[in-house]
Chain A
Amino acid sequence: MLRNTILAIAGLLLLAHAAPAEQNIVRNGSMESGDGPGAIDPRIPDGWTTFGINIERSGTVNFAPSDGAWSLKSFGDADNNAAGAFQEIADVSPGQSVTASAQLFSPANDKLGGSGQAGLVLEFLDIFGGTLSLQQVYPFDAASPADTWVPATIGPLTAPSGTAKVRVTCRLQWSPGNVFGAVYWDDVQVSIDGGPNAVVNGDFEVAGHSPGQSPNGIDEWTGFGDQEKSQDVAEDGASSLKFGTREAYSGLFQNMGALNAGDHIYMLAWAWNPSSDPLTDNTRVGIKLEFDANGDVPPPEENLAFDESVPANQWTQVQLNTVVPPDVTIARIVCIYVGDPQTTGAVHFDAVSAERGSVPGVNQLANESFEAGPGGANGLTDWTEFGSPGVAEAQKSCFEVPAQDGICTARAWGESVAGLFQEITVTPGETLDLSAWLYTPDFEPLTGSGRAGLKVEWAVGGVPDDIDIGGATNTLDASAPTDTWLPIYIDYTMPAGSSALARYTCIIEKGTALSGTVYLDSCEAVVLNRYDGADVDGDDDEDMIDFAAFQRAYTGAGAATLPFNGLTFDHDADQDVDLDDWGFFWPRITGPAQ
């Protein structure tokens, strides 16, 4: 018994960090992406908007625990009193627990001095961008140690009513004329918690007749192999899922809906290895996150408004304003020219922009004025050219016409289709505003039925590889302690450009074992960045069914572990469901939706 207890404790020590991870919703918080090095604005980190004069992405210092080699640098000037960079993030809802943090640094050979103060600002904004509340900390000043990363933290704070987004700002401020030295920010994060449980009947309390399962099967799940609902043991309620080893593989699965790039899912379950019939040999049991292709590709959209009717020798703007369709995660922005055998002349593109609704004011396109690149075939940096060599082409052109921005343009001509494109990451439902300036010179004016303009093509993104059993956190084997509930979990963030249907699977792999039983219970899956209040069943209301789950999950302050559905109800992310969480829950009871 003592041995089992020690093993159990050892196992729990290994798994004790199975608390829900927080979701960092800052883009490029480690400053690894963007222009540089070392140059002053506009060479800024991707996703950030700068203010003031001396602010730049820098490769001079880097916060070591964070990957990469870059940080954000600022220093003062004589005429102003502040500089910095900010990012607005729309993935925040009222009542949500929000924490902002960053690391700050100043080198001994250029130490921040005078009246300079550096820190972090967190603002909650309404749908119109108005500030609902503001918190700021300035932990770094002339008295701070040199060559040492100093943390700055704000929160956790509860997002006030009306919150639509947050703005996090890295800010250096000073009294005019009284500042010297430089300060650096790195590892900027904004974290959120909460969300509905995406798994229905995750505690296996409701029996039923779903297809493909044993006679003792379980509603909402589809089963295969040697599995059944059991009342031998339970972590929550009176029932659990029992696996045997009669088949090579046995399990249950449940589809959870679509996940898109950046979605952060946390899956949790509890497993019980009975001493009366424990796992043996190389049997493995765990939870899997499986993916399948998600939806059809929506049709492209285009605006080919530029034709021979447009006067020569003047720049004309062509725009395309749209909304990213469901499930789409990648948009291909195309500068397109469409000619035919009767078309003559050429069209020049310049100053192309693509602005996402979630990142207002930021052009997502690189080399937007076609200045970079050696020219010739595929000679424009960041752009991919297409066409038919010798028939229709689109290539870099400098000094042929007066550019709208800089000195170069992209020139398209020919008797067929040609153009250039770039792909950007987008989020379903956000606006996407495209703009380009087009020009045809009088020495080779566009004629005939040729047209040109902008086009956007959509992609639903890639399907990530499954998260299979065998991982350190989501799998138990014959070495697992017996007769105790053990947490197993998957903490996964969908990679850039991905979109897929997600499936929660509980599975046992028999291997060569001849015996063994295991129980699973309290399956939860919370998409942490899709916060939905206290709506644990995800049906877009907060009613007595949600309250019944809240009442059961209530632990009081200082709980040892979160119970089933605690992932959803622990709004302030302090690892319990207590009066603070109840204070969040009760004002939001709406009753059942129609």
Chain B
Amino acid sequence: MKRSNPLAIFAILSLCAVARAQTVSVTLESPQQGQLVAPSATIAWQITFTVSNNDNAGLALLVCDLVQDTANPALIDLPPADAVPAGMSNFSRPAGISNPGENGTDSGYVGVQRGTTGAMNLIQIGGGQNTFGQALTGAGIAENANVLPGVGQGGTVLLAAGSFAAPSACGDYNFSLANVVANVLQQANDPPAFSPVVQATTDTSAATLSFTVGLAGDLDGNGTVDLADLAALLANYDTPSGMTYADGDLDGDGDVDLSDLAIMLANYGSTC
């Protein structure tokens, strides 16, 4: 067993003395944020991040869970995210380090489903760079030893995006990011030197997603498709574009037309 050099220890420990404040800010966004949507409507989401400047050399690792509030009116299986964004390939297998893929995928970067069937969350979305200065060629993981510096320091970066169908039960729904873990590079070195990393503080103050599911046609969200909703739709009838659900665009095609009216009339008088 090698003996430690006390002078070297002293020098290194002295460098560790000052507290650090590298920060990775993570955001969960959706076009449906705060909106009233119809049952089964598509809820698109994306997770983005930025990394603080001047105190690190960019993102080394970021993983987080997309979870549903257990108090939601109904629970669903959150499907994995879409493909790995182009700018994040160094964080996903085979170039980078991510969980093993599931359901026929090579990489778990898009998240893995965990929890009770029918209520599964999406766990550990994201991955890390190979910061060890050596490529594991042919291993299917960490095959790129070149560290990409400055990730997240030049503006907002997309970590992952996906979508799911809104549950059929009416009510308010909340989703959030949990277990957010981020490492940042202290410095980015060329192989074979390794690149040291430190844990970053994570800011998740904007990492929630909320929407309300209502009866198709319940434009004002009062739980009933009634005359007020019909009047609102008719006020926008034949508007060809730019319409929202609250305007009467029940099929999500941007206009208010006969198909929207048919959806409303099918539920007319119903209470959620």
Contact = CB atoms under 8 A, between A and B. Distances in A.
Interface residues of chain A: helix, strand, loop or mixed (majority) = loop
Nearest to B109: A544
B65 to A, nearest CB: 9
A548 to B, nearest CB: 5
Interface stretch (B136-144, B156-164, B220-228, B255-263): B136-144
Given A548-B199, A561-B12, A579-B132, A591 B4 contact: no
Interface of B is mostly: mixed
B179 A545 contact: yes
A2 to B, nearest CB: 13
Given A238-B20, A591-B112, 8 more contacts: A236-B16, A484-B13, A485-B13, A544-B97, A548-B63, A552-B197, A554-B194, A582-B132
Interface of B: 1-14, 16-22, 60-61, 63, 97-100, 102, 108, 112, 114, 123-124, 126-128, 131-134, 136, 139, 141-142, 179, 181, 183, 193-194, 196-199, 201
Contacts of A560: 4-5, 8-9, 11-12
B126 A544 contact: yes
B18 to A, nearest CB: 7
A589 interface: yes
B20 A237 contact: yes
B21 to A, nearest CB: 6
B4 A575 contact: yes
A233 B100 contact: no
Interface of A: 5, 8-9, 12-13, 16, 19, 205, 231-240, 272, 483-485, 543-545, 547-548, 551-552, 554, 556, 558, 560-561, 573-575, 579, 582, 586, 589-592, 594
Contacts of A236: 16, 199
Contacts of A12: 6, 9-10
9 contacts: A233-B17, A552-B197, A554-B194, A554-B197, A575-B4, A579-B134, A589-B100, A592-B112, A592-B124
A518 to B, nearest CB: 14
A461 B187 CA distance: 52
B52 to A, nearest CB: 12
Nearest to A581: B132
A548 B1 contact: no
Contact of B128 (A19, A239, A544): A544
Given A233-B17, A560-B4, A589 B141 contact: yes
A526 B244 CA distance: 57
Which residue, of A238, A484, A558, A573, has the highest number of chain B Cβ atoms within 10 A? A238
Contact of B100 (A231, A554, A579, A590): A590
Interface centre among B21, B63, B132, B196 (most CB of A within 10 A): B132
Given A548-B61, A552-B183, A591-B108, A485 B16 contact: yes
Contacts of A543: 99, 124
A11 B76 CA distance: 58
B199 A589 contact: no
B102 A591 contact: yes
B241 to A, nearest CB: 43
A592 B112 CA distance: 8
A431 to B, nearest CB: 35
Contacts of B194: 554, 556
B126 to A, nearest CB: 7
Given A544-B124, A544-B126, A9 B61 contact: no
